[in-house]
Amino acid sequence: MPGELRYPRRVREIATNRAQWDERTTIHIRSAFYDIEGFKAGRSTLKPVEIAEVGDVDGRRLLHLQCHFGLDTLSWARLGAEATGVDFSQEAITVARGLADELGLNAEFVCCDVYELPNNLAGAFDLVFTSYGVLVWLPDLPRWAEVIAHFLDEGGSFYIVDEHPLGATVVEDDGKLVVADSYFDVGPITVPARGTYADPDAALANTTSYQWQHPLSDVITALSGAGLRIEFLHEFPVSGWQRLPSMVKGEDGWWRLPGRDDLPLVFSLRARKG
């Protein structure tokens, strides 16, 4: 069973973030970014990179941490996975369960904070998956990694694809890229909300969130400290969303800085238990 948090329990911060994600869900399900009607018609939300790097999931038990309202979880289910999605937003889990029922997909959903999951879910999984915008919401990476190891069956693998922590430090100022934030852990960072990535013009009642910056060294150290063996770490000069104003979306769905491929904006990592 995973141990206690290394950091003080962030009850206030987690509750504030949960309220904002409940509100974000009501905005996101109506957004063109998520295109729920297209998803219902058969569109997958998985990008080629995670499909290629995760590999065949047919018949595999897959646990998806921080799943939001479950489109990726359900996309894995469409590929044959026995999928379980987890998120701390009750609003998101309610939507996810409704979509699973409507589409007849083999997926279950649990409303729970990641750190409390061992007390709320039983069983072992062949694969633990998480993606895009997840690490910044976690105050304690060693505990997170222990939860992952707890749920992996022997020989099972963990896969993450997320925003690169170096790219997260950069902003655009008068057309130039400027390092505006620390690369190292200085959390919690108070982040005022101006819409969401799915709808920048949306008006939020919950205008504050708390986030944590984690360098890649902390991610690797946490996973290896939990007994997982790193199989690969890849870095990409692309983003899953328009993080900087000058970014342009390509036909492949990735956002890029025109004329630049020298800044890592996304990373992927796979680790194995045993």
Q: Which of the following CATH numbers is that of domain 11-273: 3.40.50.150, 3.50.50.60, 3.20.20.80, 3.40.1590.10?
A: 3.40.50.150
| 42 Rama class: left (phi>0) / alpha (psi -120 to 50) / beta | left
pLDDT attached to residue 187:
76
Taking only the tens of pLDDT, the chain with its 274 residues reads 445 556 556 888 999 999 999 999 999 999 999 999 999 999 999 999 999 999 999 999 999 999 999 999 999 999 999 999 999 999 999 999 999 999 999 999 999 999 999 999 999 999 999 999 999 999 999 999 999 999 999 999 999 999 999 999 999 998 899 999 899 987 799 999 889 999 999 999 999 999 999 999 999 999 999 999 999 999 999 999 898 999 999 999 999 999 899 999 999 999 999 9
Q: Do residues 123 and 63 make contact, with C-beta atoms less than 8 angstroms apart?
A: no
Residue at 196: amino acid letter: T
Q: Could you tell me the two tokens for 179?
A: 């390092």
List phi, psi (to 5°) of 19. -60, -40
The structural domains of the chain, with segments of one domain joined by +, span 11-273
Distance between CA atoms of residues 242 and 251, nearest Å: 14
Distance between CA atoms of residues 85 and 213, nearest Å: 24
Coil, helix or strand at residue 72: helix
pLDDT attached to residue 1:
45
Distance between CA atoms of residues 89 and 67, nearest Å: 10
